[in-house]
Amino acid sequence: MSRRVLAALVLLLLLIAFPFVASGYLLGVFTIAFYFGVFAMAWDLLFGFAGEVNFGPTFLIGLGAYAAGLLNVRGWPILPAVLAGAVAAVLGGLLLALPALRLRGPYFGLVTLVAVLLLQQVIVIFAGVTGGEIGLSLPDVLSVDARKNYWYALAFMAVSGALLYALSRSPAGLILQAAGQDPVEAQALGFNVAKHKLAAFSISALFSGLAGALMVFYLGTASVDTVVDISVTVQVIIAVVLGGRRTILGGILGAVFLIGVGEVLRPLGQLSTFVVAAIALAVILLFPDGLIGAFGRHRRQA
């Protein structure tokens, strides 16, 4: 664990220095990747540790993004709007989780997926308020400076990663992991499985909502394609599996890999999506524990 933390600190220092040698285009790519890294880490807490297959992370992301955007359009400054977006994501997550967590097997995942579809329809139906399929333009943005936007995203990702990683290694995180692997035995040992999973869902919603709200203030617009679409859910899930499930920090590695490779292959047009998917599939098949798991296994064998 100490080596993993040390490696993360070294990488963080390199990322802090990166803007001094990188172009604005590269900084923009990494800025988006950092927000996706937080999406992935928040999803890993619920799936990797709590064992709940959430097919609707964009429901939480979208709630935070659109709540913050709508409030900003009505005159709220950025910081209060972002905090309100996070609160909206948590409240919406609780309303979804309270009945959904009573379900078992694939039904929980189906409920979260339906929630995403419902949110998409609400955005389209109330297009006069939300901007519909065109999107909602925000009057304010975090900054017009690429370096500042990069550092905002990096700082947010670093703090989120530290908090989520510490939580996953805390007694509560170990109980959550036990509840995810064998809820019956965990319940028999006296742990309140439902309470811990509800707490995990709320924490996941908090970070997802914050990241969604901050990302739309970076983009200057909130739209279905960027924060609610099913393709965003697929990217988040693949990022976690690529980086390493139940590692938290692996979500960052997976997100940077996906976004980075996607940008490199953008000149291929529609073919780039196929190539990225093929690379992701190959990595998943060759390294079932993800890139971090593969690195750890190689180090142990050496």
Give the pLDDT of residue 53. Answer: 80
- Is 206 inside any structural domain? yes
- Is 192 inside any structural domain? yes
Give the pLDDT of residue 23. Answer: 92
The single residue listed with the structure tokens 């995203």 is 153
Number of domains in the chain: 1
- Is 171 inside any structural domain? yes
Domain extent for 208: 23-227
- Is 241 inside any structural domain? no
* pTM, entire model: 0.93
- Measured CA distances, 19 to 152, 212, 220 (Å): 12, 23, 21
Give the pLDDT of residue 142. Answer: 96
- Is 255 inside any structural domain? no
The DSSP bridge partners found for residue 81 are none
pLDDT less than 50: residues of the chain: 298
Give the pLDDT of residue 277. Answer: 81
Give the pLDDT of residue 158. Answer: 95
- Is 174 inside any structural domain? yes
Give the pLDDT of residue 1. Answer: 53
- Is 73 inside any structural domain? yes
Dihedrals φ, ψ of 13, to 5°?
A: -65, -40
- Is 198 inside any structural domain? yes
DSSP per residue over 218-280, as a string?
A: HHTEE-HHHHTSHHHHHHHHHHHHHH-TT-STHHHHHHHHHHHHHHHTGGGTTHHHHHHHHHH
The single residue listed with the structure tokens 């499985």 is 193
Give the pLDDT of residue 190. Answer: 82
